[in-house]
Amino acid sequence: MSEQFYYRFIISELPESDEDIVSSWCFDFGAEGVSENLEFEQLDREYQTKTINKKVKTIEAYFSNQPDEKSLTEKIKNLNPSIETKILKEPVQDWLSEWKKGFVPFELTKKIWVVPSWLEAPKQSEFNIFIDPGMAFGTGTHETTQIAADLLIYLKEISPNLKSLIDVGTGTGILAILSSHLGYDKIMGTEIDNDARLVGIENCQLNNVKVDIPAFQIEKVQDSFDVVVANIIDGVLVRIQEDLKRCCSKYMLLTGVLEERESLFLNEFDRKDFKVLKRLQKNEWVGFLLERK
């Protein structure tokens, strides 16, 4: 089969006032889509971003067939000579297949492996967590997930009779599935993104584990759990700390804290009713296991 291509027509130095008419012309010339190259700024520690509104834009138009570049460029230049254009011929790729090539089984912690649902488990694994990430965040490769997994195993070693656990921000469900393997028989997960929530449910079903992942969030959870796990960025941990503590009867496992912000986090997260049992760090990320006093 011969390689297929598409054409990316890049328009830069485009005044905001001309964006709509130039986009319309691209569609007139056969474009199948137009996108704007946006810039963002992070305004807070919850990783909430805001689009930077610029008066001069860069947009890209996408064509399945080679457009009449000369005529389109001439039309744009007649509108405003300062606008710059160029066209690139790009190979068509199956991005999902390309991504899957790079996602291979790996050891999450202590002979517990995360395995893509479309691959076979390695022989050296003792327990496998099969996942299909879909639209959810978290394949288990991030340091914070590994910190959480290590702390969950450590906690089960020092307190083997724990039975209930809630995973706040469960994503793909990796930590909830691991918790089932560790012997928890009442497991709940919460997830703010509905697409990710559905992926988490599917992964739990794939692994034949019973995890309740309701549509509501931590603030509406009424039950108390032996263990509260929250693998979320530090700013969110601070914001929802009262709900985390309200749902926790014994232990709280918190990850998602950058080392450079550790002191700030510890100052803002009220721990008067808890003591730190263990601190774990991987690269620049830090996690804590807390016990209720």
∠ CA 206-165-143, nearest 5°, is 70
Give 101-292's CATH code, choosing from 3.40.50.150, 3.40.50.300, 3.10.310.10, 3.40.30.10.
3.40.50.150
pLDDT tens string for the chain (293 positions)? 567 899 999 999 999 999 999 999 999 999 999 998 877 665 556 555 566 678 899 999 999 999 999 999 999 999 999 999 999 998 887 666 666 777 788 889 888 999 988 888 888 888 999 988 765 556 667 899 999 999 999 999 999 999 999 999 999 999 999 999 999 999 999 999 898 899 999 999 999 999 999 999 999 999 999 999 999 999 999 999 999 999 999 999 999 999 999 999 999 999 999 999 999 999 999 999 999 99
CB atoms within 10 A of CB 118: 9
Architecture of domain 5-92: 2-Layer Sandwich (3.30)
276: Cα separation from own chain's centroid: 27
pTM of this structure: 0.74
What pLDDT does 263 receive? 95
Contact in structure between 68 and 105 (CB atoms under 8 Å): no
Sheet holding 5-15, edge to edge: 33-36, 56-63, 5-15, 84-91
Nearest to 217 by CA among 187, 197, 245: 197
| Residue 45: per-residue pLDDT | 63
Query: What is the per-residue pLDDT for 183?
Result: 96
> Which among 176, 179, 158 is positioned nearest to 168, based on CA atoms?
176
C-alpha distances in Å from residue 50, one per residue of 38, 94, 137, 197, 257? 10, 30, 20, 25, 22
Question: Are the C-beta atoms of 147 and 109 separated by less than 8 Å?
Answer: no
Task: Return the domain boundaries, the chain.
Answer: 5-92, 101-292
Helices 69-79 and 19-28 cross at an angle (nearest 10°) of 160
The confidence score (pLDDT) of residue 177 equals 96
Cα separation, 7 vs 279, in Å, equals: 51
